[in-house]
Amino acid sequence: MTFGSENLQCRFLPRAWKQVSEEGPVDLFSLSLEIQKQNKFQWRLDIESSIRKRGSVMKAIGTQILQRDRLILRRFVESDAEAMFQNWASSAENLTYVTWDPHPDVEITRNSIRNWVASYANPNYYKWAICLKENPEHVIGDISIVAIDENDSSCEIGYVLGKVYWGHGIMTEVLKAVLNFCFTQAGFQNVRARYASLNPASGRVMKKAGMSYLKTITNGVERKGYLADLIYYQISREE
């Protein structure tokens, strides 16, 4: 049924007819107005319901300090260059499964940090220096939101940790902290992470942090002399 210029939903006709007929003789103009009013009311209810289901909308709040029992996640500062260089940026083994190559000297590390510090002015930039609470000035790794999709309020996380700190549950604790931030503060609805199949330890971190297997892209990554599947994990706000 069409009234005026809008194709109004017939589901509102019985309700509108009842409302108009109670007020007197029924005419098509009054009936059309009542259907439009109920249609708009239902549309508002649908929007409010959608917002409740999705929770808070995305918020560009930038990199905030996060704390766990034994860790502090904070913004990088230029003075982190030496520790970053020593703990992971100069190590080929440590960087096997990341996209960039080892730094030959600390000045390259320092320059990278300068760029990150400048990027903190962007409220959609999220990059944390990982530090033990007992030594908050000494950075041992980093975790970042490496991609954001505003269409579905989702993001992807990447991380790296100095080898000497592997095997102590640190990265699982870090990932849990950042996932909590993504959902409760930044308003993301879905978070993904991925790893090369040759690095199953990274997948175990994702699983321990509560993420679930999503998909595998066969031969999805080729770099540094190896070819591997790319395995994705994800977690949603409702989980």
What is the share, in percent, of the chain residues with pLDDT greater than 70?
76
Distance CA 185, CA 182 (A): 6
15 is a domain residue? yes
Do residues 150 and 40 both lie within one domain? Answer: no
**Which domain does 87 fall in, by range?**
66-236
Say whether 202 sits in a helix, a strand or coil: helix
What is the CATH number for 70? Answer: 3.40.630.30
If asked whether residues 187 and 225 sit together in one domain, one would say: yes
Over the stretch 144-197, which tens digit does the pLDDT of each residue have?
Answer: 999 999 999 999 999 999 999 999 999 999 999 999 999 999 999 999 999 999
Domain count, the chain: 2
Q: How confident is the model at residue 51 (pLDDT cuts 50, 70, 90)?
A: very low
- Residue 226: inside a domain, yes or no? yes
Residues 129 and 46 in one domain: no
CA atoms of 90 and 233, how far apart (whole Å): 28
Same domain, 191 and 216: yes
- Confidence at 57, pLDDT banded by 50, 70, 90: confident
Shared domain for 48 and 80, answered yes or no, is no
In a domain, 2, yes or no: no
Are residues 32 and 144 both part of a single domain?
no
Residue 83 token pair: 């520790």
Do 139 and 161 fall into the same domain? yes
| 194 in the same domain as 152 | yes
DSSP structural state of residue 155:
E
User: Per residue in 217-236, pLDDT tens?
Assistant: 999 999 999 999 999 999 99
pTM: 0.76
